[in-house]
């Protein structure tokens, strides 16, 4: 897209104003957004997980330098944005990162972005009807994406065979997984509801709690303290880093990582795990390699639309990781269906005592009951006297 001419007509159009926050990495931007800000992203085919973290931050508008729906496949993010009542101005071009500075107040009105009355860039304002039409058009791209996925899966397996099959690169850590369940939490999907529904399971089985990037903060928000943090570490909060959890930084194959220096500056000496796959998949492979009996995935995605929504590289990583874990892996929704809390001995004793008190109270309130209790008391006293005379 070309820069818009500097027409002075911004005051004639309704719109929303807010402080501009810019970042080419959507997840990192979400950690800096305040309600009412305007998020400026550079995210072709906006996926569901990225959209969820944006919606949670409650911006007034999202401006995307790229097409939010390119037509390659029906990605799920844009519908979440517009359904939340957030303006989505699409495909304004990369020039916006040159003409808008972090922290300045801008306005989205119609199909354009304004600084004061000056029009800076133009794009396409997406509404629900337009998103629906674009999603229908993108359905035709699914077959091509699946064919390309087959090729990408072979390439990923060639690159990551050592990690997938032999655990090459997985660090030695002090957190013990062997013989235990592990719960790997990411911030996505219905992670809040899933964590809430699993609270009894967590208290009973005491699984190793693994927070993947923002999943560490999701665990904290649910009232749990993670044992292990895995991820790029550029979106994990200081509060999560301060829990004392062991840290594994997911690095690129060349050893670089966006958040490695931040973790080190925090006074933590982290382990590293190089992989071209996702941080979530790296955490799952680590848990399985260290001997976890069962790995429960929270906030993950399992159906075909969500699988496609990860993009071709993410699809290959996700598919092969789940194939590698096999029957060790269970999504939180599966645990919800199968798990039933056990009644503890203490709870059972309290239940019996409560029932006994209720019976005694009912007897005490009736004439026949009082007569029975008096008789029982008399018999008890006779028994006590007999025992005393016999054994004295």
- Give me the DSSP letters along 247-313: EEEEE-TTS--TTHHHHHHTT---EEEE-SS-HHHHHHHHHHHTT-SEEEEES---SHHHHHTTHHH
What is the predicted pLDDT for the residue at 342?
A: 56
Is the pLDDT confidence value at 11 over 50? no
* Spatial contact of 195 and 224, defined as CB atoms under 8 Å apart: yes
What is the predicted pLDDT for the residue at 65?
A: 97
Is the pLDDT confidence value at 8 over 80? no
How many other C-beta atoms are found inside a 10 Å radius of the C-beta of residue 349? 10
Q: Percent of the chain having pLDDT more than 90?
A: 52
Using CA of residue 294, residue 300, residue 301, residue 306, what is the dihedral sign? Answer: negative
Is the pLDDT confidence value at 338 over 60? yes
pLDDT, tens only, 19-56? 999 999 898 898 899 999 999 999 999 988 889 889 98
What is the predicted pLDDT for the residue at 306?
A: 64
Top pLDDT among 77 and 379 is at 77
> How confident is the model over 300-304, as a mean pLDDT?
66
Which residues have C-beta within 8 Å of that of residue 347, sequence separation ≥ 6?
none
pLDDT, tens only, 106-154? 999 999 999 998 999 999 999 999 999 998 888 877 777 777 777 777 8
Output the CA–CA distances (angstroms, integers) from residue 219 to 75, 232, 355, in the order listed. Answer: 27, 17, 38
Is the pLDDT confidence value at 7 over 80? no
* CATH 3.50.30.10 residue spans of the chain: 10-126
Is the pLDDT confidence value at 348 over 70? no
Which residues have C-beta within 8 Å of that of residue 198, sequence separation ≥ 6?
183, 296, 298, 332, 335, 336, 339
Is the pLDDT confidence value at 1 over 60? no
What is the predicted pLDDT for the residue at 161?
A: 87
Is the pLDDT confidence value at 374 over 60? yes
Residue 156: pLDDT band by 50, 70, 90 thresholds?
Answer: confident
Residue 5: pLDDT band by 50, 70, 90 thresholds?
Answer: very low
* Spatial contact of 112 and 118, defined as CB atoms under 8 Å apart: no
Is the pLDDT confidence value at 12 over 50? no
> How confident is the model over 326-342, as a mean pLDDT?
78
* Residue 229 DSSP code: E
**What end-to-end distance do the CA atoms of the chain give, in Å?**
105
pLDDT, tens only, 204-245? 999 999 999 999 999 999 999 999 999 999 889 999 999 999
> How confident is the model over 178-186, as a mean pLDDT?
96
* Residue 317 DSSP code: H
> How confident is the model over 301-319, as a mean pLDDT?
66
pLDDT, tens only, 60-118? 999 999 999 998 888 889 999 999 999 999 999 999 999 999 999 999 999 999 999 89
Is the pLDDT confidence value at 339 over 50? yes
* Spatial contact of 245 and 225, defined as CB atoms under 8 Å apart: yes
> How confident is the model over 237-262, as a mean pLDDT?
91
> Considering only CA atoms, which of 51, 49, 258, 278 is closest in space to residue 41?
51
Cα 130 from Cα 111, distance rounded (Å): 14
Mean pLDDT of the chain: 84
CATH number for the domain whose boundaries are 10-126? 3.50.30.10
> Considering only CA atoms, which of 308, 324, 317 is closest in space to residue 155?
317
Whole-model pTM: value is 0.69
What is the predicted pLDDT for the residue at 248?
A: 97
What is the predicted pLDDT for the residue at 2?
A: 42
How many other C-beta atoms are found inside a 10 Å radius of the C-beta of residue 197? 16
> How confident is the model over 161-184, as a mean pLDDT?
93
Cα 217 from Cα 236, distance rounded (Å): 7
Which residues have C-beta within 8 Å of that of residue 339, sequence separation ≥ 6?
198, 200, 201
Is the pLDDT confidence value at 6 over 70? no
The H-or-E segment that residue 41 falls in is strand 38-41
């Amino acid at each position: 897209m070309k820069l818009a001419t500097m027409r002075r007509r911004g005051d004639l159009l309704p719109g929303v104003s807010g402080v501009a926050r810019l970042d080419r990495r959507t997840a990192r931007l979400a950690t800096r957004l305040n309600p009412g800000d305007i998020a400026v992203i550079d995210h072709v085919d906006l996926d569901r997980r990225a959209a969820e973290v944006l919606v949670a931050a409650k911006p007034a508008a999202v401006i995307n330098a790229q097409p939010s729906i390119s037509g390659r496949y029906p990605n799920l993010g844009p519908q979440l944005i517009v359904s939340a009542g957030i303006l989505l101005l699409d495909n304004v071009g990369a020039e916006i990162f040159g003409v808008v500075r972090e922290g300045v107040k801008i306005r989205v009105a119609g199909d354009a972005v304004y600084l004061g009355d000056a029009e800076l860039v133009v794009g396409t304002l997406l509404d629900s009807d337009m998103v629906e039409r674009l999603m229908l058009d993108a359905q035709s791209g699914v077959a091509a994406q699946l064919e390309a996925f087959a090729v990408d899966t072979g390439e990923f397996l060639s690159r990551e065979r050592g990690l997938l099959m032999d655990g090459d690169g997985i660090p030695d850590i002090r957190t013990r997984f062997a013989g235990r369940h592990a719960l790997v939490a990411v911030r996505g999907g219905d992670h809040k509801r899933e964590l809430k529904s699993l609270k009894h399971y967590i208290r009973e089985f005491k699984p190793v709690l693994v927070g993947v990037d923002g999943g560490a903060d999701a665990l904290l928000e649910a009232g749990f303290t993670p044992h292990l943090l895995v991820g790029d570490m550029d979106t994990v909060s200081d509060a999560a880093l301060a829990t004392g959890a062991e840290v594994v930084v997911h690095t690129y194959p060349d050893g670089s990582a966006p958040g490695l220096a931040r973790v080190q500056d925090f006074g933590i000496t982290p382990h590293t795990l190089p992989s071209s796959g996702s941080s979530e998949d790296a955490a799952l492979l680590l848990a399985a390699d260290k001997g976890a009996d069962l790995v429960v995935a929270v906030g993950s995605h399992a159906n075909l639309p969500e699988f496609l929504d990860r993009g071709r590289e993410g699809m290959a990583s996700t598919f092969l990781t789940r194939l590698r874990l096999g029957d060790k892996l269970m999504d939180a929704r599966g645990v919800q269906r199968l798990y039933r809390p056990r009644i503890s001995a203490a709870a059972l004793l309290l239940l019996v005592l409560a029932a006994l008190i209720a019976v005694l109270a009912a007897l005490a309130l009736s004439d026949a009951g009082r007569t029975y209790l008096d008789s029982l008391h008399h018999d008890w006293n006779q028994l006590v006297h007999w025992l005393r005379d016999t054994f004295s």
